[in-house]
Amino acid sequence: MPRTNVSLETVYALDEPKKYKVILHNDNYTSMDFVIHVLMNIFHKNALEAQEIMLQIHEKGKGICGVYTHEIAQTKVAQVSKIAKQNNFPLLATIEEE
């Protein structure tokens, strides 16, 4: 059997995964302290960042908490929904493609 030397070069083009913004929406019932708690514990914001985002939510009706891959964004939304329900708040979190 003859020997053949074959050089194969494969180039893979990998796209970056799409990113999604997690947004908290203002309502008339959820306390500002609870929103700060959510921002610090679910989104790992420091106290200053949490306060700034909370004020943006309060003044503009919504605020971006972070940008993540789709799966992580969905998980964050589920975590917000769970903790809000446990604390009897109607806090709404949604995702939006970046």
**pTM metric for this prediction:** 0.84
Q: What pLDDT score was predicted for residue 14?
A: 83
Q: What pLDDT score was predicted for residue 94?
A: 98
pLDDT tens for each residue of 26-40 = 999 999 999 999 999
- pLDDT over 80 at 2, yes or no: no
Residues 6+ apart with CB under 8 A from 73: 20, 21, 22, 95
d(CA 31, CA 34): 5
In the chain, domain spans: 27-87
- CATH 3.30.1390.10 is held by the domain 27-87: yes
Q: What pLDDT score was predicted for residue 10?
A: 73
